[in-house]
Structure 1
């Protein structure tokens, strides 16, 4: 009985029941299977994105975003008149996180690949694309680069999932994926 103390002071020398050994063995086998699945699922699954990260000064990153916006703006959206940017397929695309916005709105082509750069000017933010299962950390001074290929068209919301201050709940952005022509 587990409430009463063991009869022997050296309890770890007492024999273990076969049923208990069976459960420990099953748990060990399951743990090994799950351990082996992590790298396998990363290589064969499609939900994990391999990424690169580089150090960058926030002002230098801001300059890259401004340059992209100046070259590829196709319109504006919302009350804040956030630029809508449509960069060419295969290019480097820059998305900036800052209190409390994602800048700019990206318009990408379905089936085309892009190198998406993410960085913050101020605090740590979380980049979560809904309804897709993309979730990355965005840090100031770090240029996080992922290669993306949108597979479905439509509007995808970007939310910050790391608390970044009083306006955190308003930190929303958008990626618009248009059907390939």
Structure 2
């Protein structure tokens, strides 16, 4: 037995206000179909980043060298580092933390290298609308120029295990 009976006319054309809503929905679909490619190419909403295949141990070595040479303090056991403007900065996402805390200068450009040695994580910078999937074995390089000062929280937005809810980090912009 089928819910569609071959006998009779089960389809009724929309009438009245239903016809208006169907027309509005179709119009909105057409508008969105045109604007999505426009924002993709002209809206400057795509990452200008690069990705490179890397061994997890090699990335951790580079990140640790970066931390040692740029460390300016510590907060709750997490190193605070201040990279030189125009230089490279490293951020590691691992169970269940983001480290180090980056201290950046407003208006300066940095190359931010992000990777994970263990699992897939999600890099989400709040309150900015910046979201990236961070995969083990890849060095994701983002060119960033902070435009406002403050403390910006990093959270993991990709479920990564039992401690996922504690996986936070910070970027300080002065």
TM-score band, normalised by the shorter chain?
Answer: 0.7 to 0.9
Matches within 5 A, 1:63-102: 63-78=61-76, 80=77, 82-102=78-98
- What is the deviation of 1:49? 2.5
Q: TM-score, normalised by structure 2?
A: 0.84
- Residue aligning to 1:50: 48
Task: For residues 129-174 of structure 1, give each alpha carbon's deviation from its aligned partner in whole angstroms, at most 9, with x where no partner exists.
Answer: 1111111111100111221111110100111111111111111100
Counterparts of 2:164 and 2:96 in 1: how far apart (Å)? Answer: 6
Unaligned runs of 5+ in 1: none
Single out whichever of 109-118 and 20-29 deviates more from structure 2. 20-29
Specify which of 88, 113, 125 is matched with residue 121 of structure 2.
125
- Match of 2:83, SS state, is coil
RMSD: 2.6
Specify which of 140, 143, 146 is matched with residue 139 of structure 2.
143
Number of residue pairs aligned between Structure 1 and Structure 2: 171
Specify which of 105, 110, 113 is matched with residue 114 of structure 1.
110
Task: For residues 52-92 of structure 1, give each alpha carbon's deviation from its aligned partner in whole angstroms, at most 9, with x where no partner exists.
Answer: 211111011101101211221111111x2x11111111212
